[in-house]
């Protein structure tokens, strides 16, 4: 009897049920034990992950599997994303026929950050047009009440197709392997991967980087995980970058400058450093642009607020609304190693086999 079967018996006998993430970890553990001793730890993990279908991954909460029609206004799209507490969603082409395949039904994935960056970019082109943020009203902590009357823009989601932070719709089928999913999230830096039901031509699940990290966290203590999980960050072989090449902003730069720089350089985050020195005081990611909409003390001064004051305002906002702080103060100089992303960490658990390499 393998570990997964023993765990099932224990649950049937009245013991505390095990989380889906741990069940997956135990499945990997059983596969790990039967791999050839001549394989390296990474090769063993590849073989394990390739043997598990992506359909085994725990389903996302139904409230987070949200689709947005291509003719939805940007204001309504922001409201939907905020209410469901998600940062991106697949876009359905309203012009597609009812019997369309999933390839023709979905035209891409739109991100909360991408919408706001697009609006900011357009407002720069239109003299006297102000950036209309959401109100500070909250509905059962589901997000801001963004009424379209508060926005000075009326484009639809389909109109911003191909803009910054717009992702192509690359989906997995249920029979695809766990390894393929990990490679898309890590090597190819996708933020989320939809899993489609071919029979109904619709999305069955959405797997995010955060969900994978949570699953890996639940696997702590298992032998296969500890081969990587017990290592220090500097031992993982993360890519290095000279400090002179790191894209950064100073704490007295405007936060708008930070977001514009991310768009221009195509990066998802920047360290914030003190003027005249190299001490890192925090970091800003593209996802933090949402606070231009939902935090009143920020959006009222969105054109002039500095990166340093933005960090303070966001921290205060999160504390006020009892949300987990998004920033960690760092002490010391700008590091040579670049910021660690979830995809960097996930990449340590898999490697790109020759038959899966792109291009």
Q: What integer pLDDT is reported at residue 184 of this predicted model?
A: 87
Q: Give the E-state strand segments of 175-297 in sequence order.
A: 192-197, 202-208, 249-250, 269-273, 280-285
Q: What integer pLDDT is reported at residue 84 of this predicted model?
A: 84
Distance CA 118, CA 258 (A): 15
Write a three-state SS string for 315-345.
HHHHHHCCCCCCCCCCCCECCCECCCCHHHH
- Cα dist. 140→14, 82, 127, 143 in Å? 36, 12, 37, 8
- State pLDDT tens for residues 302-339: 778 899 999 998 888 888 875 543 333 333 444 443 45
- State pLDDT tens for residues 69-95: 999 988 888 888 878 878 889 999 999
Is residue 63 within 8 Å of residue 84, measured between CB atoms? yes
Number of other CB atoms surrounding residue 226 within 10 Å = 12
The token duo for 244 is 């002179």
- State pLDDT tens for residues 12-36: 444 444 677 888 889 989 998 888 7
Is the confidence at residue 283, as pLDDT, over 50?
yes
Q: What integer pLDDT is reported at residue 160 of this predicted model?
A: 85
């Amino acid at each position: 009897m393998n570990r997964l079967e023993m765990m099932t018996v224990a649950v049937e006998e009245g013991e505390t049920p095990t989380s889906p993430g741990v069940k997956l970890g135990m499945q990997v553990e059983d596969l790990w034990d039967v791999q050839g001793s001549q394989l390296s730890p990474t090769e063993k993990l590849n073989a394990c992950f390739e043997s598990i279908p992506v359909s085994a991954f725990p389903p996302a909460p139904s409230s987070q599997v949200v689709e947005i029609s291509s003719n939805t206004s940007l204001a309504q799209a922001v409201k939907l994303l905020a209410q469901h507490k998600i940062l991106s969603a697949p876009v359905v082409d309203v012009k597609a026929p009812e019997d369309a395949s999933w390839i023709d039904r979905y035209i891409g994935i739109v991100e909360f950050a991408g919408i706001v960056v697009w609006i900011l970019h357009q407002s720069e082109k239109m003299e006297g047009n102000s950036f209309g943020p959401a109100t500070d009203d909250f509905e059962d902590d589901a997000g801001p009440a963004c009424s379209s009357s508060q926005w000075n823009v009326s484009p639809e989601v389909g109109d911003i197709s191909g803009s910054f932070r717009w992702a192509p719709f690359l989906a997995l089928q249920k029979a695809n392997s766990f390894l393929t999913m990990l490679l898309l999230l890590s090597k190819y830096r996708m933020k989320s991967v939809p899993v489609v039901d071919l029979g109904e031509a619709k999305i069955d699940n959405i797997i995010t980087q955060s969900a994978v990290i949570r699953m890996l966290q639940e696997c702590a203590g298992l032998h296969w995980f500890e081969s990587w999980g017990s290592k220090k960050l500097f031992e993982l072989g993360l890519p290095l970058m000279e400090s002179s090449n790191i894209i950064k902003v100073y704490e007295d730069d405007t936060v708008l400058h930070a977001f514009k720089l991310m768009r221009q350089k195509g990066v998802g985050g920047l360290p914030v450093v003190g003027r005249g020195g190299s001490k890192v005081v925090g970091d800003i990611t593209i996802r933090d642009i949402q606070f231009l909409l939902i935090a009143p003390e920020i959006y009222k001064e969105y054109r002039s607020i500095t990166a340093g004051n933005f960090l303070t305002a966001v921290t205060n906002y999160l504390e006020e609304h009892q949300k987990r702080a998004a920033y960690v103060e760092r002490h010391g100089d700008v590091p040579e190693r670049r910021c660690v992303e979830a995809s960097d960490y996930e990449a340590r658990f898999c490697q790109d086999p020759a038959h899966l390499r792109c291009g």
